[in-house]
Structure 1
Amino acid sequence: MRKPVLTIFYQYNPWCSSIGGIQTLINTFIKYAPREFEVRLVGTASDRSQTLGEWRQAEFAGREISFLPLFYIENDDFRGLIPTTVKYTAALVGRNYASDFMHFYRIEPTIVTRHWQGEKTLFIQNDIQAQIAAKDDKNAILWRKFPSAYFALEKMLVNQFQQIYSCNTESMKLYQQRYPDLQERVAFLKNTFDEDIFYPLTPDKKAQSRREIATRLGLDVDTRFIMFAGRLHPQKDPILLIRSLATLDDPNIHLLIAGNGELAESVRAEITQLGLEKRVTMLGAVPQKALADLHRVCHALVLTSAFEGLPFVVLEALACGTPIVTTKAGETPQLLSPESGVVCQERTPDCIAQALRQVVMNPENYPISACIKTAQPYAARTVISGVYKKMWQRWEKKSLVTINTGA
């Protein structure tokens, strides 16, 4: 029996640092793919010397894959005039990369794939209804201006998927309600953390590493760190985060910002306007292993998002023993226990500052063990292996039918 082929479709290059939960999920699907599967990725090029539109063999995360870049993109962390998804969809026109299994992380490219043969799966990372309806920033998502058009497009395309996975229970319910004929195809899928990378330190090593980072940044060795990690995008509302830090008004608490994006300059301007230059360090995009080192020394990870799915960074921080302070967005509020974080009931600087003070100043109330316990069911090796097991069972069943019918 030949190996089943999985082709993943998304607008990124796995060898180039790119911020986002979708990228993280795809990386784990590649890393933990069983050897019984052949894995392919249709992505983008980050180097103009790369040949476009041709397959090449490459290694990623210890796994050999076939990679095909459709077009060149210099920096995926910043949006251009033409959305990258539009470019990606256009680049697929006239091509056919059908395979036994196909994974899609945006619905727009599947305009082109409707007639491709093979099992298709759609992954949903956000609460779609909240994403479309949110009004905090008109630039956050283009479809917000045309919600009826988005849902009409979705209705036209959704029947082609044999599986629809959502990491957000509200989106899962929305799809089941909007498409009752597809209810059995829609399921909740846990987002994950890679336990090979994200794990805690002993209390002594954690204190030592924290002092080393403080010294490296020219800060007092007793500095308490909080961190934001992610794309500087209206969805994440980093401006609210900066204002919350100003409201917190504690010179011994220092904010680390690991990430980049279109709001980077606006964030820097807000930091300057509020006089917080000595209390914030913007690190830019941080590689995954370095990010894990930061998680392990921080007193809290903070999210000020307007809407979310279940952010990978939340699971990664918890796996490192770090508690969470979050707004009421996505799955995180349902995930946390009273000992692993605080959910802000209002998305305001006062409420977020109060929650940060509560967590940072009382670490004994948010023990490492409680954080790890909350994250443990989301370990990548377990979750991803479960998805592949079901794929293999469907493949075996299909192959057996083919053999018996002589097709």
Structure 2
Amino acid sequence: MRIAMLCHRYLPHIGGVEIVVKHLASELARQHEVSVIAGALPREQRVSHEDSVKVHRLAALDLSDRFGIPYPLPLGPGMKGALDAVRNADVIHVHGSLYLTSAVAAAIARRREIPLIVTEHVGLVPYRRSALNALQRFAWRSVGDFVAGAASALVACGDRVARWMRDRYPRTPVHLVPNGVDCKRFCPLDDTRRLRARDTFGLPRNRTLALFVGRQSEKKNAKAVLEIPRDHFDLVVCGSERRVQADGVLDVGTLPYERMADLLGCVDFLVHAGVGEGFPLVVQESLACGVPVVLLWDPGYAPVIDRDAIRACDTLEQFRAEVLSLAVDHGAREKLRRMSRDYAERRWSWTATAAEYLRVYQSAVVQPDGAIA
């Protein structure tokens, strides 16, 4: 099967969607012909073969990324080859309904009658600023409805987004497909490797470390996390060039994805207070590393993870209290550490996720004689 997969950005640009697409494309490419088309910085524009995946990185202009809303607009060389990969595909799979590349792919799918699969990772995200909410609603009416309306099937990785799409697009099948995790790469570190990793990142050896991972976006609630008193722990922040300078805050900036397993493995627990998520991939990867998680709970997470696998909090006030409690309770952290790895191994794998996506593709790609491409 020839699969064309489109996303707004791709590694080495760091983000949850980029990482999901990387793992999914690599897994599917074991048996199928997979092309990835994504926006990139002009200096990164190229076509390459990575893990048997043909990657088209298109030079793109992105004026909104600095405001926490990535929206690359591809331009310049490489467009013809990328569009050919989309036109010649047996199935087109776009990640995110609102991007220009998704709209172009939807138009091609309609014109050439190619099955279109749309994975919506976040849906309608609630922001504090009314202008952002109004902009989102306009984007969904003008772009999102066109893309989702062309889809043979819709996919979400969390139940909140799945329910939202079922309500908005009742005539289109909606599948809940949780993301996987690479349990070989993301695994617990022994004491020697943990200390070595801390040294590599310039982190203190003898302090309790909490880790916050997230790009510069209002929905990540970084401000609320930074306001938690740090008398008994240091906070490591990662995922954006924030350049935070405050007592007890260690800013490691944006790291290559290849280094994230070591960073996760050397801290004592992860804190995630984001809202409007499908399901945070970094939570899955933390558990695979045997690292406890304090998570601001969304009821839509329930089909993906059990509440008792993490420290689940329904409000930011509870979140603050759990962080302070776990920071001083070594016994509780060790108990969670032992169960976290086992839970991740039992629940998630990219092989299983790719197999589920393949079933979605095959249900859409049916030949006139009833055979599957």
TM-score by length of 2: 0.83
Letter in structure 2 aligned against 1:398 = Q
Per mean C-alpha deviation after superposition, the further-off stretch among 360-369 and 374-383 is 360-369
- Secondary structure of the residue aligned to 1:367 is helix
SS of the residue 2:319 aligns to: helix
Counterpart Cα distance in 1 of 2:205 and 2:70: 43
SS of residue paired to 1:70: strand
* Alignment-derived partner of residue 382 in structure 1: 352
1:175 to 162, 165, 168: 165
Structure 1 unaligned segments of length 5 or more: list them.
Answer: none
TM-aligned CA distance change 1:20 to 1:237, over 3 Å: same
**Matched residue type, 2:311:** V
Match of 2:37 among 20, 27, 42: 42
- Residue by residue over 1:17-42, the C-alpha shift from the partner in whole angstroms, topping out at 9 and shown as x without a partner, is x2211101100112211443111122
- Equivalent residue number for residue 136 of structure 1: 128
Q: State the AA in 1 paired with 2:237.
A: I
Matches within 5 A, 1:115-154: 115-117=110-112, 118-126=114-122, 128-129=123-124, 131=125, 134-137=126-129, 142=132, 144-145=134-135, 147=137, 150-151=140-141, 153-154=143-144
CA distance in 2, matches of 1:12, 1:343: 31
Aligned-partner Cα distance in 1 for 2:253–2:67: 22
| Distance across 2 between alignment mates of 1:346 and 1:121 | 35
Residue identity in the other structure for 1:85? Y
| Alpha-carbon distance in 2 for matches of 1:322, 1:332 | 19
Question: Superposed, which structure 2 residues align to 1:5-404 within 5 Å?
Answer: 5-14=2-11, 16=12, 18-46=13-41, 48=43, 50=45, 56=47, 58-60=48-50, 63-72=51-60, 79=65, 85=71, 87-88=73-74, 97-98=86-87, 99-108=89-98, 109=100, 110-112=102-104, 113-114=106-107, 115-117=110-112, 118-126=114-122, 128-129=123-124, 131=125, 134-137=126-129, 142=132, 144-145=134-135, 147=137, 150-151=140-141, 153-182=143-172, 185-201=173-189, 205=190, 207-214=191-198, 221-244=205-228, 247=229, 249-250=230-231, 252-260=232-240, 264=242, 268=244, 271-272=245-246, 276=247, 279-329=248-298, 331-332=300-301, 335-337=304-306, 340-348=309-317, 351-365=318-332, 366-376=335-345, 377-392=347-362, 395=365, 397-398=366-367, 400-401=369-370
- The answer as to whether partners of 2:38 and 2:57 remain within 8 angstroms in 1 is yes
Give, in whole Å, the separation in 2 of the partners of 1:306 and 1:232: 13
Cα distance, 1:399 vs structure 2: 6.7
In structure 2, the CA distance between the partners of 1:363 and 1:331, relative to structure 1 (3 Å rule), is farther
* Residues 162-195 of structure 1, C-alpha deviations (whole Å, 9 max, x = no match): 110011212211221222222xx11111022112
CA shift, 1:336, in A, is 4.9
Percent same amino acid at aligned positions?
16
One-letter amino acid matched to 2:320: A
Q: Supply the distance in 2 between the matched residues of 1:181 and 1:394 (Cα, whole angstroms).
A: 15
Cα 1:312–1:146, aligned 2, differ >3 Å: closer, same or farther? Answer: closer
Q: CA RMSD in A?
A: 3.3
Find the aligned partners of 2:7 and 2:331 in 1 and give their Cα distance.
Answer: 42
Residues 1:291 and 1:370: Cα distance change in structure 2 (over 3 Å): same
- Shift in Å at residue 103 of structure 1? 1.1
For structure 2, which runs of at least 5 residues remain unmatched after alignment? none
Structure with bigger gyration radius:
1
Q: How many residues align structurally? A: 359
**Are 2:261 and 2:289, in contact at CA under 8 Å, matched by a contact in 1?**
yes
Distance verdict in 2 for CA 1:390–1:125, change over 3 Å? closer
Pair 163,394 (structure 1): closer, same or farther in 2 beyond 3 Å: closer
